Structure 1
Amino acid sequence: MKPLLLDLYSGAGGAAMGYHQAGFEVIGVDIKPQPNYPFEHHVGDALKFVADHGYEFDAIHASPPCQTYANVTAWRGNQSSHPDLLDPTRDALSTTRRPWVMENVPEAPLRRDLVLCGSMFGLNIRRHRVFETSWHAFQLTPPCHHHAGLLAFEHKGERAYADAMGCTWMTNVEGRQAIPPAYTRQIGLELRLQLPLKETA
């Protein structure tokens, strides 16, 4: 059987697709309905869901809303109107005794276990995201390659941006908040190596 991963604050499933490609069965949770999410999905509060059901999963990914920390707020509104969920999410993940991954924008106060960009994977996008993990270690990754012509923030409202990330099933609006599946595919392959260690701990 495939290991089961809980995808908190799921959005439309960019992270979920990468974990699926890495061999996980994925179940998503978000406070809003996500009709384009490609796997089983539940509408609900992420923190409550992980408190009630986190023990049922082999691993957990969480992408708390980034509006509190993101520098660019043109389409996000007032930063002060968004709750800071990083510390509550980290605390909730830590109580599950499962390996976990938390993702956010580079400005967020996460431990920088891994920083990924689309250009590392040959994608035509510049999109940096920081990942903190329960096991604190990652294999080396190639450097960014910010060549001319990369799609960046100013292209986030365009269909081409979501497609360049590999999120072809999403709307362009959903793609604004997604991460490329290539990121979590790589993370998922390493995460799977943590599962036997966790099971025998």
Structure 2
Amino acid sequence: MEVSSMTQPTPLRPAGPDRRPRVLDLYCHRGGMAMGFHQAGFDVVGVDQDSTCAEEYPFTFVHGDAIDYLRAHGHDYDLIHASPPCQADSPLNAYNKKTYPRLIGPTRIALLEVGKPYVMENVPAAGWQMRAPITLCGPMFGLPLYRHRLFETSFPLTAPAHPAHVARCTRNGYLPTSERPFMTITGGRHSKAWQRAAAQAMGTPWITTIRGVCEAIPPAYAHWIATQFLAVQGRTAA
């Protein structure tokens, strides 16, 4: 991992027909989506205002404002991914009653200004702000968790078949069992054993904090998206 300021980091490969595609990972957290893009053959640079994300982000990390960096450097990338914070639309906020910024609209405006292909992710409750999103969920990729996330894209994107939610789930920080093999991954005062099990179920074993794993997106989602993007571009995944 390399940490950079708001200037363009250096690890991007020079332009050329054989270089790996480049993805800019905005609001990158600890790199769930980033890992999926990497596994599909992308060079990845992540941007987040939370400097602690650099502790575990697996690739080049830029500490700074996502929209400012997008406007300054987005044209240097082949694809842009953005996961604006979702707290304002989280069901938990019905209890917290805090005020959070809504960044989906401002992020889309900046994405359209830059004009590069993009994918934007958020929680189902934010669907009213998104344009024709598709839904991805854990069982689509053989993951033992139900985790719906919406994805708006500027290129054609389809979802795999969505298996019925028939497996029973553990809740409230309990570990999975043979009777309840799936996990519900939400924040709380969970044990370290729960955190490790959740990270394993998500496919993010490098993430070691409860908040980090609860905010992560399974890399399998990004790999699916990246593969379809490369097909549209006439390229194949690594």
TM-score by length of 2: 0.76
Distance 2:200 2:159 in 1: 26
**Structure 1: tracts of 5 or more residues without a match:** none
Question: What's 1:2 paired with?
Answer: 20
**Residues 111 and 79 from structure 1, CA distance in 2 versus in 1: closer, same or farther, beyond 3 angstroms?**
farther
SS in structure 1 of the partner of residue 89 of structure 2: coil
Partner SS state of residue 227, structure 2: helix
Larger CA Rg, structure 1 vs 2: 2
2:217 equivalent in structure 1:
179
Equivalent pair of 1:69/1:79 in contact (CA under 8 Å): no
Indicate the structure whose relative CO is greater, using CA pairs within 8 Å and at least 6 residues apart: 1
For residues 76 and 98 of structure 2, what CA distance do their matches in structure 1 show? 34
Q: Deviations over 1:145-170 (max 9, x none)?
A: 32122211457743111210001000
2:58 and 2:97 map into 1 onto residues whose CA distance is: 30
121, 141, 152: which one aligns with 2:141: 121
Question: Is contact 1:117-1:144 (8 Å) kept?
Answer: no
Q: Does 1:139 align with 2:177?
A: no
Give the CA deviation at 1:77: 4.4
Residue number in structure 2 paired with 1:68: 88
Q: Which residue of 2 aligns with 1:101?
A: 119
Confirm or deny: 8 A CA contact 2:87 2:93 kept in the other structure: yes
1:176 aligned counterpart, secondary structure:
helix
Deviates most, 152-161 or 142-151: 152-161
Residue of structure 2 equivalent to 1:163: 200
Per-residue deviation, residues 63-86 of structure 1 (Å, max 9, x unmatched): 000001111238x94442x11000
Aligned-residue sequence identity (percent) comes to 42
Match of 1:36 in 2: 56
Is 2:89–2:123's contact at 8 Å kept on the other side of the alignment?
A: yes
Aligned mates of 1:155, 1:49 — CA distance in 2: 29
TM-fit CA distance, 1:99: 0.5
Give me the TM-score of the superposition, normalised by structure 1.
0.90
Work out the number of aligned pairs and report it.
Answer: 194
SS of aligned partner of 2:204: coil
After TM superposition, the structure 1 stretch with the greater mean CA deviation from structure 2, 42-51 or 142-151, is 142-151
Query: Structure 1: which amino acid aligns with 2:184?
Result: A
Specify the alignment match of 2:29 in structure 1. Answer: 11
Unaligned runs of 5+ in 2: 1-18, 169-179
Q: Distance in 1 between matches of 2:132 and 2:142?
A: 22
Letter in 1 for 2:148: H
Letter in 2 for 1:182: A
Deviations 1:42-79 (A, max 9, x none): 000000000100011111000000001111238x9444
RMSD after superposition: 2.0
